[in-house]
Chain A
Amino acid sequence: MIKRVLAWVDERTGLGRFAEAFLFQNLPGGSRWRYSWGTLLLYVFFLQAVTGFFLWTAYSPSTQTAWESIHFIQNEMTGGWLLRGLHHFGAQAFVVVLVLHLLQMVIYGVYRAPREVNFWLVLLLLPLAIAMSATGWLLPYDQHGFWASRVPIGIMGVTPVIGPWLQKIAMGGSSVGHHTLTHFLALHAGLLPLIVALVLGGHYYLNRKHGFADAPKDCGCPDEPYFPAQFLKDAAACLAVLIVLLGFVLVPLWQNPGAAPGVHLGAPADPSEQYSAARPEWFMLFLFQFLKYFPGGTEVWGAMVIPGLVMTVLALMPFVAKWKHGHRFNVLFIGVLAVGALTLTRIALVQDSKDETYLTAKEHDRRSAERMRQLVSERGIPPSGGAALLRDDPFTQGPKLFAKNCASCHRFDGHDGTGRMPLNTYTVRAGDTWESIAEYRFTKPEQLRDLNKSLGGRALKPGDQVTVYARPWAPDLKGFATREWLAGLMDPARVDGPRFFGGTKFKDGKMVKWVKKNCTSEKAGDLKKVIAALSAEARLKSQAGPDKADAELIKQGRALITGDFACTDCHSFGKKDPDATAPDLTGYGSRAWLLRFISNPNHADFYGKRNDRMPAFADKKILDAKQLGLLTDWLRGEWYVPPKNGTK
């Protein structure tokens, strides 16, 4: 019965005869591992098509949904991280297999007649693979994808004559946006795979038509049919590749069970948020490095002319091989290319591993990505997209706002909020020494010498340009209004130091004098109460516990503020004192107090006319209400913190 059905089908379609010819094709000289490359390439493409299709079913190409849908695939959908991981590493495997296949064809001379077209088809896959990869980066629309794809898009623009048009068509407008994503998806999931499939199909068909290779001479190996010997080798090779890919996805998970599974998804793309670690995929790093050697205006040589010439030489290989030493030349040429590409890749990697900016940007990206995961799990993604979550997050924005607006005078734990030390250049005047310059900036002479290694530690001459840590002109705000911070302020040894009033005009002011006179060790017990009472005014989240526990202490402290300590001689506390000359202590350090203070320190409730140099950030419209809120919340340590054990 089954035989009759098969015969019926075969008679009408020829499928049976085709399958038989296909499976039992005779291989002169028997099966060989190196005949598996073509099948392997086909297999990786199949893997990409399958994983890509299923990614596509859950992907949404627009600037507000691209990152968001990938985040959902990766973190919410069952097995999504595995799917994305396989697709990610599969893309790299395709390139690796392709290049090895090409090398193999050249080394064994498998491009000779009648296999020229076969060889060209494999060559054609090189630019196609690059195009697949370059269109694929952008799709997750994270910082890395966004910034890394700017470069190929930019390079497209230097194409002679049609460059600008080409660029505009690719982007679907004059800047990266919705249509860039829709275009790239249509190319990445539609047109390019279709072309690759046709080329691969053609390659495989010709492979079978001409046989995998000429029968090896004087080997004495017997012929074998394709099935089962070669089939087995092919299947084993495919499975080996699959295992390697699974390893890449799964091993990190096993090494680091707490981390987010799957390949890295950065923070959502933000055109105003710099990402200084934009690099292409590792297999294209050599092209990236190559471009560095082309000075301005000659880029088109590095990006197009030379790669074009190399491709031409490769394409002519079958003809070159006809000359006496042609084949040797070809092998030498491709060898030089391979060594050159590896060398360039190595240089690029070594340069990056020493590049401070690159490493900082990488680290920053890792942290923002982690932060995004926390915020998304806490708040969910709003319709305007995930980027808004980061823009409204004090933990992310606070340090940046501080660095830009406050760090020219204030410090945060000694740095500018983001971990950098603000630097200045200083022109040495007569009489300056390392020691005097260092002292003025509250730093040590050794630190200054370290910053200026080029001077070799020699004595300074007037006119020398030295790099110096900027002098802090105002208090360090790390832990502002906490008990520790106030204890420092009311410490005679520290009050006029760099962390408090040392850089301000209040260095010799009333408060400093009062602290030096009154905050003596005999009064330590009472001082503790005053500090607890004042700090409780801030209602800091981090101090909620102690504030509650020490209610009695705080009550006594409040009495001392108005009583023995006589803070109210200058400050208001509890009720408004129209004669107060120093900042109001009612609600000191609370959100409302700090917001008002930053908005306008010149207000009579704060420093009034005696304000040193602090700008009125709201009244002068330096910061808007949202930025002020973010900065205030960050200074007070108010941001979403994920529960310690609740992470997946």
Chain B
Amino acid sequence: MQKDPATPGAAASPPARREFLKQGCAACLAVAAVGTPAAVGTRVFLDPLTRLKTVENFVKVTTLDTLPEDGTPVQFPVLADRRDAWTKFTQVPIGAVFLQRQAKDKLLALSVVCPHAGCFVDYVEEQQGFLCPCHNSLFLKDGGLKDEQSPSPRPLDTLEVQVRNRNEVWVRFQDFQLGVTEKKPVA
């Protein structure tokens, strides 16, 4: 930039500074012009990150009578109101849950979602446990990991379950983060 670096001081310095200022301004204007629309768009695109999920409440899933006395897990769809962007759905299936009796009135609710990659697991009577049809993770009847080599990082996720009015089974339905050892609800 400087034509003659040997020339000392004042004479050469102002044009160089002016030049730098000019370059800086040009860069700033360009960034502002290009960046503004991009930033506005990006902010909208990132909207899901800051949108808080509504807290899940307990949902009535079934009645006690439908659960086999012998403790065999049965899968039930979970119906609830759900908002999906612009549509409000009333009483649609939002997922499913395995319910089983551990004792006469003691229930265990397991999420059907395999904590590995999110496929639905099947209950396999012959194995007395759950098998994921995607990557073959094996779980015990109580949801525990059957096999250390299973791709799933943790046991099946238990869900809170309550019996109300003597016969109604209510479950707090939640999604949990997949692929991590720790059971963390999806925020």
The contact string, 1 if C-beta is below 8 Å from chain B, for chain A 410-446, is: 0000000000000111000000000000000000000
Instruction: Please state if B95 and A271 are interface contacts (CB–CB under 8 Å).
Output: yes
Picked from B65, B85, B186, the residue with its CB within 8 Å of the CB of A179 is B85
Report the bound CA distance from A8 to B151 in whole Å.
67
Question: Which residues of chain B (147-161) have a CB below 8 Å from chain A?
Answer: 148-154
Question: Which residues of chain B (127-186) have a CB below 8 Å from chain A?
Answer: 128, 131, 133-137, 145, 148-154, 167-168, 175, 177-181, 186
Instruction: Please state if B94 and A174 are interface contacts (CB–CB under 8 Å).
Output: no
Complex interface: chain A residues within 8 A of B180 (CB)? 158, 297
Report the bound CA distance from A297 to B122 in whole Å.
22
Instruction: Please state if A425 and B119 are interface contacts (CB–CB under 8 Å).
Output: no
Complex interface: chain B residues within 8 A of A63 (CB)? 84, 87
Instruction: Please state if A278 and B94 are interface contacts (CB–CB under 8 Å).
Output: no
Instruction: Please state if B179 and A154 are interface contacts (CB–CB under 8 Å).
Output: yes
Instruction: Please state if A278 and B153 are interface contacts (CB–CB under 8 Å).
Output: no
The contact string, 1 if C-beta is below 8 Å from chain B, for chain A 138-180, is: 0000000001001101110110000111001101111101110
Report the bound CA distance from A390 to B98 in whole Å.
23
How large, as a class, is the contact surface on chain A? Answer: 35 or more
Picked from A175, A179, A270, A299, the residue with its CB within 8 Å of the CB of B153 is A299
B74: CB under 8 A from chain A?
Answer: yes
Picked from A153, A172, A292, A615, the residue with its CB within 8 Å of the CB of B118 is A153
Name the residue in A272, A277, A294, A621 with the highest tally of chain B Cβ atoms < 10 Å from its Cβ.
A272
Question: Which residues of chain A (285-316) have a CB below 8 Å from chain B?
Answer: 288, 291-292, 294-297, 299-300
Picked from B46, B117, B154, the residue with its CB within 8 Å of the CB of A150 is B117
Complex interface: chain B residues within 8 A of A299 (CB)? 116-117, 151, 153, 179
A368: CB under 8 A from chain B?
Answer: no
Instruction: Please state if B48 and A171 are interface contacts (CB–CB under 8 Å).
Output: yes
A25: CB under 8 A from chain B?
Answer: no
Complex interface: chain A residues within 8 A of B136 (CB)? 292
Instruction: Please state if B117 and A155 are interface contacts (CB–CB under 8 Å).
Output: yes
Complex interface: chain B residues within 8 A of A615 (CB)? 65
Complex interface: chain A residues within 8 A of B86 (CB)? 178
B32: CB under 8 A from chain A?
Answer: no
B15: CB under 8 A from chain A?
Answer: no
Given A151-B117, A404-B66, A424-B70, A296-B153 contact (CB < 8 Å): yes
A207: CB under 8 A from chain B?
Answer: no
Picked from B48, B128, B151, the residue with its CB within 8 Å of the CB of A295 is B151
Complex interface: chain B residues within 8 A of A133 (CB)? none
Whole-angstrom distance from the CB of A532 to the nearest CB of chain B?
A: 37
Whole-angstrom distance from the CB of B144 to the nearest CB of chain A?
A: 12
Instruction: Please state if B154 and A296 are interface contacts (CB–CB under 8 Å).
Output: yes
Report the bound CA distance from A408 to B181 in whole Å.
37
Report the bound CA distance from A288 to B134 in whole Å.
9
A522: CB under 8 A from chain B?
Answer: no
A103: CB under 8 A from chain B?
Answer: no
A218: CB under 8 A from chain B?
Answer: no
Given A278-B134, A296-B152, A357-B133, A155-B179 contact (CB < 8 Å): yes
Report the bound CA distance from A295 to B154 in whole Å.
10
Instruction: Please state if A164 and B177 are interface contacts (CB–CB under 8 Å).
Output: yes
Instruction: Please state if A272 and B135 are interface contacts (CB–CB under 8 Å).
Output: no
Picked from B48, B75, B153, the residue with its CB within 8 Å of the CB of A169 is B48
The contact string, 1 if C-beta is below 8 Å from chain B, for chain A 64-91, is: 1000000000000000000000000000
The contact string, 1 if C-beta is below 8 Å from chain A, for chain B 37-75, is: 000000001101101010000000011011010101011
The contact string, 1 if C-beta is below 8 Å from chain A, for chain B 96-118, is: 10000000000000001000111
Instruction: Please state if A423 and B66 are interface contacts (CB–CB under 8 Å).
Output: no
Q: Name the residue of chain B whose CB is nearest to the CB of A272.
A: B93
Complex interface: chain B residues within 8 A of A297 (CB)? 153, 180-181
Name the residue in B46, B72, B116, B134 with the highest tally of chain A Cβ atoms < 10 Å from its Cβ.
B134
B77: CB under 8 A from chain A?
Answer: yes
B4: CB under 8 A from chain A?
Answer: no
Instruction: Please state if B150 and A296 are interface contacts (CB–CB under 8 Å).
Output: yes
A622: CB under 8 A from chain B?
Answer: yes
Whole-angstrom distance from the CB of A628 to the nearest CB of chain B?
A: 14
Instruction: Please state if A174 and B153 are interface contacts (CB–CB under 8 Å).
Output: no
Q: Name the residue of chain A whose CB is nearest to the CB of B168.
A: A621
Complex interface: chain A residues within 8 A of B62 (CB)? 622
Report the bound CA distance from A357 to B148 in whole Å.
23
Instruction: Please state if B48 and A178 are interface contacts (CB–CB under 8 Å).
Output: no
Report the bound CA distance from A273 to B70 in whole Å.
25
Whole-angstrom distance from the CB of A521 to the nearest CB of chain B?
A: 42
Instruction: Please state if B93 and A423 are interface contacts (CB–CB under 8 Å).
Output: no
Report the bound CA distance from A467 to B72 in whole Å.
13
Report the bound CA distance from A404 to B65 in whole Å.
12
Given A169-B45, A173-B48, A296-B152, A274-B178 contact (CB < 8 Å): no
Instruction: Please state if A404 and B74 are interface contacts (CB–CB under 8 Å).
Output: yes
Picked from A179, A271, A292, A404, the residue with its CB within 8 Å of the CB of B151 is A292
Instruction: Please state if A150 and B68 are interface contacts (CB–CB under 8 Å).
Output: no
Q: Name the residue of chain A whose CB is nearest to the CB of B128.
A: A425
Picked from B65, B122, B181, the residue with its CB within 8 Å of the CB of A276 is B122
Picked from B53, B148, B150, the residue with its CB within 8 Å of the CB of A174 is B53
Instruction: Please state if A295 and B93 are interface contacts (CB–CB under 8 Å).
Output: no
Q: Which residues of A contact B (CB under 8 A)?
A: 62-64, 147, 150-151, 153-155, 157-158, 163-165, 168-169, 171-175, 177-179, 270-278, 288, 291-292, 294-297, 299-300, 355, 357-358, 361, 404-405, 408, 423-425, 467, 615, 620-622
- Across the A-B interface, the 4 shortest Cβ-Cβ residue pairs: A272-B93, A158-B179, A296-B153, A276-B133
- Pairs across A and B, CB under 8 Å, 22 listed: A62-B87, A147-B119, A154-B179, A158-B180, A163-B179, A169-B45, A169-B46, A169-B48, A173-B84, A174-B175, A177-B85, A179-B48, A271-B95, A272-B95, A274-B112, A274-B120, A278-B133, A296-B151, A300-B179, A357-B133, A423-B125, A621-B167
Given contacts A169-B49, A294-B151, 14 further A-B contacts (CB under 8 A): A64-B87, A155-B117, A157-B177, A157-B178, A164-B187, A179-B85, A272-B78, A276-B119, A291-B135, A295-B148, A299-B116, A615-B65, A620-B63, A620-B167
